[in-house]
């Protein structure tokens, strides 16, 4: 299981260092930012599992960071805890009401109490099955919620992504190395979305609970760029997860249930892309099944073309 990521946004170095040292010692991965712009950049590239926000920052109020997180499908589920010297009733109402933070703690604070609150919020997120245990990407109901939103709008695009050969790879190399591949793919997706969709609040990246399957939603113009970024980087770098011999020969040798030795290619991606023009879709089951059919077509087309990874588009793709 991956370490849970905490973002600390605090412009006082002594408090920031205290929180980083304390939560790192408790087994969390801690990111720090002294300015709101840096905090938003971190959230765009590597969304945290929880955010600890000060209100008074050099470039913006912590409330604005919270509003941006709540407006973005990739980050709206993140628990927010304010740690601030501003304890007036109006400030609390903004933090808990407008921003919908989970807690509003006024300085000076008891760090053990803060840790208990943080732990409880992360436990609650896991109980709701909101985050994938390996990649920390949104999963389960958060994906369904995003897909339901697509059904009522226009101008969207959705990509369903599958890692071909992942099961064989984990059988040969083990589940721990397989988790590294999932984290690697999630990192490429977040990088692609951040670089292509900077400043856009419509992008969403999620991972299915079971299997090496990911979901991205964006606009038709950006989804193509995001998927091409992912496909090219994946094909270029996936070999680094294999040993030298497998990487050089370009395949694994496995023995099937009949005792026959087979050659299995290195992992690749199959990506199926749909847009609102492929609809209408009447429920998320129909949408997901159509995306899966498109993704399966990508696998067949890759084999026909003698390629590794491939992107297949729905009928509405221009």
Query: 197 pLDDT exceeds 60?
Result: no
Residue 114's CB is within 10 A of a number of other CB atoms, namely 18
Q: Is residue 132 part of a domain?
A: no
Say if residue 145 is in the same domain as residue 84: no
* Domain, as residue range, for 145: 141-313
Q: Report pLDDT digits (tens) over 120-165.
A: 999 988 777 678 889 989 998 899 999 999 999 999 999 999 999 9
Say what the pLDDT of residue 316 is.
Answer: 61
In a domain, 221, yes or no: yes
DSSP 267: P
The verdict on residue 191 lying in a domain is yes
29/162 same-domain check: no
Which range is least confidently modeled, 61-75, 166-180, 194-208? 194-208
Q: Domain with 116 in it: what CATH number?
A: 3.40.50.2300
Q: What pairs with residue 310 in β-bridges?
A: 270
Distance CA 276, CA 24 (A): 44
Q: Do 79 and 121 contact (CB within 8 A), yes or no?
A: yes
**Quick check: bond before 187 cis, omega within 30?**
no
Over the stretch 260-270, which tens digit does the pLDDT of each residue have? Answer: 888 889 999 99
Residue 133 domain-assigned (yes or no):
no
Q: Is residue 99 part of a domain?
A: yes
pLDDT of residue 245: 94
Evaluate if residue 303 carries a pLDDT over 50. yes
d(CA 162, CA 142): 19
73, 201 Cβ separation under 8 angstroms:
yes
> Can you give the pLDDT at residue 2?
74
The answer as to whether 289 is a domain residue is: yes
251 found inside a domain: yes
Statement to judge: residues 164 and 266 lie in one domain? yes
Could you read off the pLDDT of 51-104 as tens digits, one per residue? Answer: 999 999 999 999 999 999 999 888 989 999 999 999 999 999 999 999 999 999
Residues 106 and 197 in one domain: no
What's the total number of domains in the chain? 2
Q: What are phi and psi of 246, to 5 degrees?
A: -65, -40
Question: Does 134 reside within a domain?
Answer: no
pLDDT above 80: residue 30? yes
How remote is the C-alpha of 314 from its chain's centroid?
A: 24
């Amino acid at each position: 299981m991956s370490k849970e990521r905490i973002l600390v946004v605090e412009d006082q170095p002594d408090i920031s260092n205290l929180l980083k040292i304390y939560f790192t010692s408790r087994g969390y991965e801690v990111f720090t930012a002294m300015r709101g712009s840096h905090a938003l950049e971190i959230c765009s590239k590597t969304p945290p599992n929880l955010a600890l926000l000060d209100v008074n920052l050099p470039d913006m109020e912590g409330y604005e960071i919270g509003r941006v997180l709540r407006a973005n499908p990739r980050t709206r589920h993140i628990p927010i805890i304010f740690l601030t010297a501003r304890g007036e009733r109006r400030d609390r109402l903004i933090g808990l009401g407008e921003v919908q933070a989970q807690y509003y703690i006024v300085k000076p604070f008891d760090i053990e109490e803060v840790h208990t609150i943080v732990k409880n919020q992360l436990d609650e997120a896991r109980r709701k099955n909101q985050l994938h245990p390996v990649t920390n990407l949104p999963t389960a109901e958060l994906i369904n919620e995003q897909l339901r939103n697509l059904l009522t709008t226009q101008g969207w695009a959705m990509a369903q992504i599958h890692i071909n050969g992942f099961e064989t790879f984990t059988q040969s190399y083990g589940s721990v190395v397989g988790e590294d591949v999932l984290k690697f793919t999630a990192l490429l997706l977040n990088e692609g979305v951040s670089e292509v969709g900077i400043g856009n609040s419509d992008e969403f990246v999620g991972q299915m609970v079971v299997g090496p399957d990911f979901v991205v939603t964006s606009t038709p113009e950006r989804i193509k760029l995001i998927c091409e970024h992912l496909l090219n980087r994946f094909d270029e770098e996936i070999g680094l997860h294999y040993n030298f011999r497998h990487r050089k020969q370009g395949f694994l040798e496995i023995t099937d249930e009949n005792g026959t030795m087979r050659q299995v290619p290195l992992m690749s991606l199959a990506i199926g892309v749909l847009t609102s023009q492929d609809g209408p879709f009447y429920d998320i089951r129909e949408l997901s099944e159509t995306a899966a059919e498109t993704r399966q077509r990508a696998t067949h087309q890759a084999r026909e073309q003698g390629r590794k990874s491939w992107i297949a588009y729905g009928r509405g793709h221009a």
